[in-house]
Amino acid sequence: MKTKHEILTALAHSGEEKILLASLLDKEQTCETRGYATSTRFLSMSERALCTEAVHQAGATGHALFWGGYEDAERGIYLFYPDYMDEESARLSAPLALLRAHKSRSDTLTHRDYLGALMGLQIDRSVVGDILVHDEGADIIVLEDVAEFILMNFGKAGRKNLSLTREELSDLRQAVTEEKRGTGSVASPRLDSIASLIFGLPRKDAQARIEKGLVFVNNAPCLKPERQIAEGDRITLLEAVARAGDVSPRGRVNRVAVIREEDGQRGMYMHDLRSKDVFQSPCFYLQQNDIVYVEPKYNKQDSGDKAWKVSTGILSLISAVCTVIWATK
């Protein structure tokens, strides 16, 4: 078991990560010393991976769990619970609320419509968990302390009227996860081989995306193409770059711009695809007619190495997810 200082020194590579981990470890210590449950705000996949390692190094895995309101939630909070509680009671005590947005059946709204409207309320992304879209609207998981505010102020999404009700988490309507399956054989269950098979990529391209941090295994970034994949592992590929043909060697993955027109005016949002902040961006879900631009490293004119630019109809920064299912002998 390591000290707080040792964990921060080993894992925090930026001021933001230091603040995140320090807060996490403080909550764990509060639970340990005062005997009541504590929790973080919602974490992105990258934040979750970082916090999971910190919890492991702190020796707190026995009374900590990641929970987003349902199994397999992408966004969730870290819960620390005292000895007199078990995992089930900790989940039931989690400070989460389920809000159901009801829309007209004739209206079509997407995840980005709901998320964009919520961000328009000037609330932080960390208070909103998964948004599960269904035919009648969407189920939105939020922190308890902002539930009433959202109920009072969230009345429109994508210019369509909504009505909100509060429901029990047990009544959550889970969206169907779209998964990709590939059939074939690989020489070994390496990540690059499996990703190449599932996503239909040349193995060299799969390796490049893994090394750039665009591939997640079980919600944690993996930079090792040689990692051995087990049955049931979950692989996620960030598709904005993948579908657009990747970034050329002269493209800067830390300078990716999304140009969006809003109310007749164009605005530009800059992203670093290597940073966890990309998951918090209002452009994580792209909109029709957005333009994605990757800044080149050099000013040299070369048509083969121009930064790519895409007018989006199908492009999305949302992840494509596959669950690996294969037989071992």
78-116 residue pLDDT tens? 999 999 999 999 999 999 999 999 999 899 888 888 988
> Residue 165 corresponds to which tokens in the numbers above?
């009700």
According to the model, what pLDDT value does residue 289 have?
64
245-254 residue pLDDT tens? 444 455 566 7
Domain boundary among 34, 68, 92: 92
According to the model, what pLDDT value does residue 283 have?
67
- Alpha-helix residue ranges (DSSP H) falling in 214-254: 239-243
Is pTM, for the whole model, over 0.95? no
Strand ordering across the sheet containing 38-39: 38-39, 77-80, 64-67
**Enclosing domain of residue 162:** 96-171
Q: Are 132 and 175 within 8 A, CB to CB?
A: yes
202 and 134 housed in the same domain: no
80 and 105 housed in the same domain: no
Domain boundary among 65, 92, 119: 92
Return the SS3 of 288.
Answer: coil
Residue found by looking up tokens 């605005």 in the block: 267
Lowest pLDDT segment from 33-37, 162-166, 309-313: 309-313
56 and 105 housed in the same domain: no
13-22 residue pLDDT tens? 889 999 999 9
| Domain contains 182 | no
144 and 217 housed in the same domain: no
64 and 40 housed in the same domain: yes
Domain boundary among 112, 143, 171: 171
According to the model, what pLDDT value does residue 262 have?
72
Q: Are 143 and 69 within 8 A, CB to CB?
A: no
| Structural domain count of the chain | 3
Segments of the chain assigned E as strands: 38-39, 64-67, 77-80, 96-102, 128-134, 137-143, 156-157, 160-161, 163-167, 215-217, 220-221, 234-238, 251-262, 265-271, 291-296, 309-311, 319-323
102 and 41 housed in the same domain: no
CATH code, 119: 3.30.70.330
Q: Are 162 and 129 within 8 A, CB to CB?
A: no
87 and 159 housed in the same domain: no
Lowest pLDDT segment from 193-197, 280-284, 294-298: 294-298
Return the SS3 of 188.
Answer: coil
